[in-house]
Amino acid sequence: MTDRYAVIGNPIKHSKSPFIHREFSKQTQQDLNYTAELVDLGQVKKFVDAFKKNNGKGLNVTVPFKQDAFELADKLTERAQRAGAVNTLSLSDEIAGDTTDGVGLVNDLSRNHKIIFKNKRILILGAGGAVRGVIESILNTAPAHLIIANRTIEKALTLKNIFSDLGSIDGCGFNELNNEKVDLIINGTSASLSGELPPIPDNILNNQATVYDMMYSAEPTPFMKWGQQQNAGLCLDGLGMLVEQAAESFYIWRGIRPDTKPVIKKLKETL
């Protein structure tokens, strides 16, 4: 009987996960079926129980259910515990929760774009779930310093406190960035979805700095365009992160690491 996997969310029609995981399974010759499933609010546990009974072995979890998945898991990895959210569930006798977003981000930048994090100054914009999910993985790369900037400074400071034992980290408001210089700036806000730019000062980038937007689209995002105007060394979107976090989930489930490069290339062509 074919093992079943799915991504759950609401909405879910736009999800690229089925395409990505089908490519992975073809490439690695794994016999599995991966679908996108729309789940009603408040129905996650009911869905997971039914899915499990029907040979369901694992789930990816997207908006707005990462918190539900966190609460549903019988056991959590340390990185999921810190992130306070889960995007990968492994279903056996007990439900195991993990988060692969941070690994996805770091792997995309380091493997696909040869970015070195060690001893670099990094700025991340936003303090929501997307940002919280990647901080541990970034700090594990031993940067010189990580700054979290957010409209509401309290949220940035909360994240600073949660992760301060892992490395040099600070939280501030956008208005406190005027004298900063960074080597890598990551947009973890949803501003790009509405065609807007977070309120960041110009001249914040060191020479050959990298500008990275967690969002992706067929055209460069407003944040990437800003980076181009600032003469950034590289301006990247989050498509590679999407594929890399999926590869990490695939590895958790199947014990095999797929080759992400051809899948990123194929996915770009479908946008």
Active site residues per annotation:
66
Phi, psi of 112 (to 5 degrees): -85, -25
In contact, 118 and 181? CB cutoff 8 Å: no
Contacts (Cβ under 8 Å, ≥6 apart) of 216:
237, 238, 239, 242, 271
Q: How wide is the angle at C-alpha 265 spanned by C-alphas 218 and 11, nearest 5°?
A: 50
Residue (of 132, 187, 179) closest to 160 by Cα position: 132
Return the structure tokens found at 153: 């400074």
Q: Which long-range contacts (CB under 8 A, 24 or more apart) does 11-17 make?
A: 11/38, 12/36, 12/37, 12/38, 12/39, 12/62, 13/38, 15/62, 16/242, 16/267, 16/270, 17/60, 17/62, 17/246
Cα distances (angstroms) measured from residue 112 to each of 88, 185, 243, 252: 23, 17, 11, 21
Residue (of 90, 169, 183) closest to 136 by Cα position: 169
